[in-house]
Amino acid sequence: MTEETAPAAAAPLQPGMRAPDFTLPATPDQRLSLAEMRGHPVILAFYPADWSPVCGDEVGLLNAVLPEFHRFGAQLVGISTDGVWCHAAFAADRKLHFPLLADFEPKGEVARRYGVYRAKEGVADRALFVIDAEGVIRWSFVSPLGINPGADGILEALEQLSPKTHAEGAAA
Amino acid sequence: MTHGIPPIAADDHVAGPADAPVTLVEYGDYQCPYCGEAYPVLKAVQQEMGSRLRFVFRNFPLVDMHVHARRAAQFAEAAADAGVFWQAHDMLFENQDALDDRSLATYGDRLGLDRAALVSAFAGRYDDKIERDFVGGVRGGVNGTPSLFINGQRYEGPRDAETLVAVLRDVAAGRVPQPVL
């Protein structure tokens, strides 16, 4: 917990707002756009940096909770300003089962659009967005940089999104 | 925004009296080095608190981070079925650097566990319970291991024995309505 700082001043997008579409590299030769994931709830997990201690713990936890997200039919993507090769090495090292998107060029553009870019540090905030199947933001949360926000807020948001579909195993 | 962790249930692993004034729940992973560090500390805390403390261990294996975490948890659950959970729990934490299958089989022999019981545990016999522990923890705000809860409240203070005992004593004596978070 060495990087404890208040969230950036820019206002993160709020529930009820349409989630801005984006297309970002997921691997050196593949790109993923938000529009492609329409039809399922999507969890966007912005985080400051691959390899940093708290980020490692956070993505490790999200990775472990992934089966629970899938029970809601939800897809999880991580987003940071790291490049694709860095993401590839980090994902392999941590055995991640969800894509990490590179908000690398123009740097932090997507984080900026979601109001969670920290221009001073040049990284994304530690921010979570739950987007419904129609592409509307239903929940968002910005955590202090040094604090791993856990996954309880995400699960609660997903539960409120689709109380009926829970446990029906609509895995992505 | 949290639900709180599930209440203590019949299939929980509990050390200490049910009517102890303070309950400490640990969400842990047998291969997690920080849980390994916490192990002797929590032992000392239990010793110091005696019958004033009820200690509960719940599974929170981070299986992609720790290759042996799942089997270690399965092993401990098999041991629980044989009535030797805490012996297994201690053995696992005292041998954190050797949790491969062969080592687990050796520990099983040492605890007098039936080989067939271990095979069935590794085949998933207790996975529902392990999963329930895990999900209950996530819903209660566990974001890593070890996570400690004192009378249901997340404890995020220092994890040295002296501080923990002081906090637990205060809670037990009703000196603080809620533990220091």
ipTM score of the complex?
0.87
pLDDT tens digits for B46-72? Answer: 999 999 999 999 999 999 999 999 999
Degrees, nearest 5: CA angle A157-A160-A163: 130
If you average pLDDT over residues A89-97, what whole number do you get? 96
Degrees, nearest 5: CA angle A36-A106-A66: 40
Strands (E) across B53-170 are located at 53-59, 147-150, 153-155
Of residues B62, B65, B139, nearest to A152 (C-beta): B139
Segment (H or E) for B86: helix B85-94
Query: Which pTM does this prediction carry?
Result: 0.90
pLDDT band at A172; cut points 50, 70, 90? very low
pLDDT > 70 fraction of chain B, expressed in percent and rounded = 96
Chain B residue with the nearest C-alpha to that of A93: B65
Mutation site for B-interface testing, chosen from A57, A61, A63, A166 by largest number of B Cβ within 10 Å: A61
Residue A135 pLDDT exceeds 70 = yes
Chain A residue with the nearest C-alpha to that of B66: A94
- Three-class SS of residue B70? helix
Size of interface A-B (CB pairs under 8 A): 48
If you average pLDDT over residues B143-152, what whole number do you get? 96
- The answer to whether B67 faces chain A, any CB pair under 8 Å, is no
Mean pLDDT of chain B: 95
Chain A residue with the nearest C-alpha to that of B64: A95
Alpha carbons A161 and A153: distance in angstroms, whole number:
12
Residue B116 pLDDT exceeds 70 = yes
pLDDT at A170: 44
Residue A4 pLDDT exceeds 80 = no
Residue A122 pLDDT exceeds 80 = yes
Determine the straight-line distance between the first and last CA of chain B, rounded to whole angstroms.
Answer: 16
pLDDT at B178: 56
List CB contacts of A154: < 8 A, sequence separation 6 or more.
A43, A65, A69, A128, A130, A139
- The answer to whether B30 faces chain A, any CB pair under 8 Å, is no
Which of chain A's residues have a Cβ under 8 Å away from the Cβ of B143?
57-58, 61, 148-151
- The answer to whether B32 faces chain A, any CB pair under 8 Å, is no
Which of chain A's residues have a Cβ under 8 Å away from the Cβ of B65?
60, 64, 94-95
pLDDT at A167: 47
pLDDT at B44: 98
Mean pLDDT of chain A: 90
Residue B1 pLDDT exceeds 60 = no
pLDDT band at A168; cut points 50, 70, 90? very low
Which of chain A's residues have a Cβ under 8 Å away from the Cβ of B140?
152
pLDDT tens digits for B66-98? Answer: 999 999 999 999 999 999 999 999 999 999 999
pLDDT > 90 fraction of chain B, expressed in percent and rounded = 94
If you average pLDDT over residues A73-95, what whole number do you get? 97
Residues of A with catalytic roles: 55
pLDDT at A127: 97
pLDDT band at A133; cut points 50, 70, 90? very high
Determine whether the interchain pair A148/B143 forms a contact, defined as Cβ–Cβ distance below 8 Å.
yes
pLDDT tens digits for A25-61? Answer: 999 999 999 999 999 999 999 999 999 988 778 999 9
Determine whether the interchain pair A95/B140 forms a contact, defined as Cβ–Cβ distance below 8 Å.
no
Residue B162 pLDDT exceeds 90 = yes
- Three-class SS of residue B98? coil
pLDDT band at A142; cut points 50, 70, 90? very high
pLDDT at B2: 56
pLDDT > 90 fraction of chain A, expressed in percent and rounded = 83
Residue A171 pLDDT exceeds 70 = no
pLDDT at A53: 81
pLDDT band at A5; cut points 50, 70, 90? low
pLDDT at A2: 39
